[in-house]
Amino acid sequence: MTPTGPRIEEYVPIVGRSTVDELRFIAGRLGGRGVQFINSTAVGGGVAEILNRMMPLLSDVGVDARWNVIKGGNQFFNVTKKFHNALHGKREDIGQADLDIFMETSARNIETMETGREIVFVHDPQPIALVKKKSGNRWLWRCHIDVSEPDPRVWSFLLGFVVSYDAAIFSAPSFSHPLPIRQFLISPSIDPLSDKNRELPPETIDAVLAKYGIPADKPIVTQISRFDRLKDPLGVIEAYRLVKPYVDCRLVLAGGTAADDPEGMAVYNEVLERASRDPDIHVLLLQQNDIEVNVLQRASSVVVQKSLREGFGLTVAEALWKGKPVVASRVGGIPLQVVHRHSGLLSRSIEGTAYAIKQMLNNPAFAARMGENGREHVKNNFLITRHLRDYLLTFLSLFMPGDVVRLQ
């Protein structure tokens, strides 16, 4: 799979000539070694989104990169969704039958997928067992999940595979665990040139708001995320209802579902039911439409990310890049992006979220300052060019001696 996208030269006006030249130099040091990325879905969720933007850039700087997606049915993805929840600390009923389903599907993928590149880069638990095919090449496991407090049984099961990798990559320091292999800290990123993040003309914003029947007659508070209970969309509705008597505003809950998340439509229907009697709550099921996500964030007065657990939360960086004031939960990788009272406001509860939203809506100057600081913070830390540099240096380190390689 080879997605198309911008060329690396197009980022020079944003990050500077020296950054782009450095990326070409580091890529050249790989000496033509090939990299194979493997994950569980081609669309939906942050992993697929990043890979869709990363692959063309890797090719453009001279890296021989390919991307494969494992195959799995409903039973397999039901099990891996349980794994996902359990790794986030939620109690799940996972029995031997579930582990058998996981291993049976993994065995079929092990049999059919070619993994002969010099570097094999596996994302998250779904394809983790492919490391059984390791044969003289280097293997990386990239964990995008908040595993700071995982279910011990599930983590122990996955650890049996993790230890066979050459290195593991986590998004935040608190996710790291004692491992007999090297570990790297690499935060995810956004692409400023993607449809989701590029500048848009006013008429595009007006057209999308009109399409969904969202008047711009009052402040808009928005959460963009998959319909997932860990994103707490029902909690966002409760926070909005605490704000409403003090500031007349609208709430937009928008997002989609991922191919490997069987719970998505059930959560979407729960949100529809909870919002059904309030005409100022707009619940939108978006079908991979990045322009519409971009519009909704740009049209918002405040962007919320009230996750209960979160690996990183790319929607936070997206909103900050657009200069929007953000109110988000103090969980997972979100505090790396939102520095409290500098690039946004962090909260720990429904009431705290409501208070922070009111503070932003009632003080436009303060909200604008948070948005300006947030954009600069993202520019310095969470753009795809930094992410690409970290990956290239990690690839190089796999062929060098030593236990510690600093990427910062």
pLDDT over 60 (residue 136) = yes
Question: 105: pLDDT confidence band, cut at 50, 70 and 90?
Answer: very high
pLDDT over 80 (residue 4) = no
pLDDT score of 30: 94
Mean pLDDT, residues 311-323 taken together: 96
pLDDT score of 1: 65
**Average pLDDT taken over every residue of the chain:** 95
How does pLDDT run across 327-357, given as a tens digit for each residue?
Answer: 999 999 999 999 999 999 999 999 999 999 9
Mean pLDDT, residues 134-151 taken together: 96
Considering the entire predicted model, what is its pTM? 0.92
pLDDT over 60 (residue 150) = yes
Q: Residue 366: exposed, middle, or buried by beta-carbon count in 10 A (0-12, 13-18, 19+)?
A: middle
Mean pLDDT, residues 179-202 taken together: 97
pLDDT score of 401: 66
pLDDT score of 383: 98
| Residues above pLDDT 90, as percent of the chain | 92
pLDDT score of 256: 84
pLDDT over 50 (residue 188) = yes
pLDDT over 60 (residue 209) = yes
Q: Residue 376: exposed, middle, or buried by beta-carbon count in 10 A (0-12, 13-18, 19+)?
A: middle
Mean pLDDT, residues 199-225 taken together: 97
pLDDT over 80 (residue 206) = yes
pLDDT over 80 (residue 37) = yes
How does pLDDT run across 379-408, given as a tens digit for each residue?
Answer: 999 999 999 999 999 999 999 865 444 444
